[in-house]
Amino acid sequence: MNHGLRIASFGSIAVVAAALGFTGAGYAETAMQDGSKQAEATPEDANQWLEDIHGDKQMAWVKEHNARTEAELGGKPGFAKLQSDIRAILDSDAKIPGVYKQGEWYYNFWQDKQHVRGIWRRTTLAEYRKAQPKWETIIDLDALNKAEGSNWVWHGAQCLRPAYRKCLISLSPGGSDADTAREFDMTTRQFVKDGFVKPLAKGGLDWIDADHVFVQTDFGAGSMTTSGYPRIAKLWSRGTPMADAKVVYEGKPVDMAISANHDDTPGYERDFVNRTIDFYNNETFQRKADGTLAKIDVPDSMQRYVVRDWLVLEPRTDWMLGGKTYKAGSMLVANFNDWMAGKRELTELFVPTMTTSLAGATWTKHHVVLNILDDVKNHLQVLTPRTGGWKKSEFVGAPAIGAIGISAVDAVESDAVWMTASGYLTPTTLSIAEIGKAPEKLKSMPAFFDASKDVVEQHFVTSKDGTRVPYFIVHRKDMKLDGNNPTLLYGYGGFEVSMMPGYSGIIGKAWLNGPDGSGGGVYVVANIRGGGEYGPRWHEAALKQNRHKAYEDFAAVAQDLIDRKITSPKRLGTMGGSNGGLLMGNMLTQYPQLFGAIVIQVPLLDMKRYSHLLAGASWMAEYGDPDTADWDYIKTFSAYQLFDPAKQYPPTFIWTTTRDDRVHPGHARKMAAKMEAAGKNVRYFENIEGGHGAGSTSEQTAKTWALNYAFLWDVLGKK
């Protein structure tokens, strides 16, 4: 394991695949930091009462709007088939069961029509190679929920090396970020009586050894940060109350989060403490055997982690050390022990160019595989440490086109990697490869839609300030440039998240093939600033007071689609969620003339209040602090405040989930109420479960996405 904790692992609002449902989750009353239960309407915000998430009056408002939206959109011709088609994709037994290795077993969490909440199961590699592997079920979540009268959603399992007999199982009520963790015995297949249990809260447990864990959670008053994450990490011994656990590190209330974790790599066992100050600044300490902490001496903005002998550094800004400047977005390595002893010798493993960035690095037993983006196209390179330097070579058998993902099968024991490859029109394939040898294809996703008549292109457009912005477009080969093609433009533009080409049966079936299967929907993804397509510089370009550049980029792509007569404003729809929901809010309020329909999903919208709502304070490094002079620029992209009742806006669909304890549902509720009061063409839907996503089950997810596409086709498909 690498345990130099990457910052984005805490509270990220990243939405990386609109078609597959959002990552992440959401709700727990214990984690609320916004005081919304006492929130009343003010002269400045008559809708603030909707911030009380579970109030009777508020939930009555939600249910009334849900019924209205479901009656409108659910009654559209073809809705039932659309919902059924989407659910069939989500429930398909032909999906690739992704696995991870623990000892000799390969584990998978699986949901389908028979396993609504899912099963945690395992098989052998020999079985996994077969078309129909034999699986051994470890935990049946549906059966557990029935026995306990709960609605648990799987959050993962961490098992103790090397026997992997003791596991920590994380379960969330309804999909919230807040979860509980319980010790589970793989031999008895039972939760351990009087074992380690973390009560429901944001945070986590991490094994140190069979009798000790690190725990970070809600320990009571004052133990959580203003962002709603743990402020204190403790060492907890078996057989003792959690209240007696020893404090390892205590952060400040204004920090984002504190955590402690254990690196279990044989021969390199170490403990680390991470203080996440904000999304882009943190401190990491090595915790020594006597409990003292030694800070890894690098700038707070530096991404860092430790792998065996190596300290890996990725500067977010240009960094001068020893008379040399290391470029932002580089990947540097140093001997960890030497660095901690004061030596400052670095090796550059990757240096970005104007068109390249580092998408990721996967370490195996003897190598590291770099996943490099060049104009948003993947390229794999292998580096191997040798006496006197690092050897570079190409990754054997990597596909020439398509989006490529790489992960280690077992970074401690082998040089094998999993490789996935896919594209907008190319179903995902999964291969296993020993570095230096040709990959062995193990699994292929079925074709969920007819792509034979479509083609993928990449284009570039010049934004308002002269920046070259890429975008992908998927369309029929025989598309007419008459401005009459229903077109869906998707974007995100934040938190250094890259929008990569990938296969989505839902987008293909529901949009590219069209409501009657005849085709005609054009799909576009904009790689705007704020994302990570060109590394930290691309992200930094749209931070805080420069946020408008992400919106200018997106508007430039929309205008280019219109200018090229691919579509027209009445045929152009746009969709985005989370931070992308804020993007949509700004398209609505600042560029309404460009669009015929807008879908706003689990959004931030009220940027005056966002830092006081749930995890909002954790994103001030991205947007700024509205309670300071930052409001002078934040108000220029706060969609809730920018809304003008006198302006004309395109038809809008806003949706969120009640159990989103990351982005407060009040953002979506209040915007819908404001638009509704002004007589605008808006409809609202709120899934009661789902967390920061489209649903906790395939049934919920299929319904949510069917509502999305029914709305888009109803508005954009009309002649």
From 708, 692, 687, select the one nearest 59 (Cα to Cα): 687
* pTM (predicted TM-score): 0.91
Position 413 in a domain:
yes
pLDDT above 90 for 33:
no
Position 582 in a domain:
yes
Average pLDDT of 594-607?
Answer: 98
pLDDT above 60 for 14:
no
Catalytic site includes residue 578: yes
Query: Domain count of the chain?
Result: 2
pLDDT above 90 for 678:
yes
Task: State whether 475 and 603 are in the same domain.
Answer: yes
Report pLDDT for 695: 76
Predicted confidence (pLDDT) per residue in 75-113, tens digit: 998 999 999 999 999 999 999 999 999 999 999 999 999
Q: Where is the domain boundary, 446, 464, 480?
A: 446
Task: State whether 437 and 422 are in the same domain.
Answer: yes
Position 469 in a domain:
yes
Q: Where is the domain boundary, 446, 474, 498?
A: 446
Tell me which of 26 and 138 has the higher pLDDT.
138
Task: State whether 369 and 510 are in the same domain.
Answer: no
Position 200 in a domain:
no
| Percent of residues, the chain, with pLDDT higher than 70 | 94
Separation between Cα atoms, residue 198 and residue 170, nearest integer Å? 9
From 435, 370, 380, select the one nearest 402 (Cα to Cα): 380
* 319-321 and 324-326 strand pairing: antiparallel
pLDDT above 50 for 19:
no
Average pLDDT of 426-442?
Answer: 96
| Percent of residues, the chain, with pLDDT higher than 90 | 89
pLDDT above 60 for 4:
no
Separation between Cα atoms, residue 430 and residue 588, nearest integer Å? 39
Position 578 in a domain:
yes
Position 454 in a domain:
yes
Task: State whether 543 and 658 are in the same domain.
Answer: yes
Task: State whether 422 and 463 are in the same domain.
Answer: no
State the DSSP H helix or E strand holding residue 538, giving kind and residue range, or none if neither. Answer: helix 536-540
Task: State whether 441 and 547 are in the same domain.
Answer: no
Report pLDDT for 6: 31
Report pLDDT for 42: 52
From residue 367, alpha-carbon distances to 362, 381, 413 in Å are 8, 10, 12
Cα 132 → chain centroid: 30
Task: State whether 409 and 490 are in the same domain.
Answer: no
Predicted confidence (pLDDT) per residue in 337-386, tens digit: 999 999 999 999 999 999 999 999 999 999 999 999 999 999 999 999 99
State the DSSP H helix or E strand holding residue 215, giving kind and residue range, or none if neither. Answer: strand 212-216
Quickly list DSSP for 549-608: HHHHHHHHHHHHHHHTTS--GGGEEEEEETHHHHHHHHHHHH-GGG-SEEEEES----TT
pLDDT above 80 for 40:
no
Of the listed 301, 431, 578, 638, which one is catalytic?
Answer: 578
Instruction: Please give the residue range of the domain that contains residue 636.
Output: 31-88+448-716
Catalytic site includes residue 692: yes
From residue 376, alpha-carbon distances to 356, 402, 506, 515 in Å are 8, 10, 23, 30
Task: State whether 397 and 473 are in the same domain.
Answer: no
Torsion angle, alpha carbons of 618, 624, 626, 627, to 10: 80
Task: State whether 652 and 683 are in the same domain.
Answer: yes
Report pLDDT for 719: 53
3-state secondary structure of 490: strand
Position 245 in a domain:
no
Q: What is the CATH number of the domain that holds 576?
A: 3.40.50.1820
Task: State whether 394 and 532 are in the same domain.
Answer: no
Cβ neighbours around 35 below 10 Å, total: 11
Of the listed 301, 422, 692, 698, which one is catalytic?
Answer: 692
Which residue(s) pair with 101 in the sheet?
Answer: 106
Q: Which of 2-6, 71-75, 154-158 has the lowest mean pLDDT?
A: 2-6
Task: State whether 440 and 521 are in the same domain.
Answer: no
Position 258 in a domain:
no
Predicted confidence (pLDDT) per residue in 279-329, tens digit: 999 999 999 999 999 999 999 999 999 999 999 999 999 999 999 999 999
Task: State whether 520 and 631 are in the same domain.
Answer: yes
pLDDT above 50 for 28:
no
Instruction: Return the amino acid letter for 189.
Output: R
Question: 């990457």: which residue's tokens?
Answer: 6
Separation between Cα atoms, residue 705 and residue 714, nearest integer Å? 14
Q: Where is the domain boundary, 393, 428, 446?
A: 446
Predicted confidence (pLDDT) per residue in 244-257, tens digit: 999 999 999 999 99
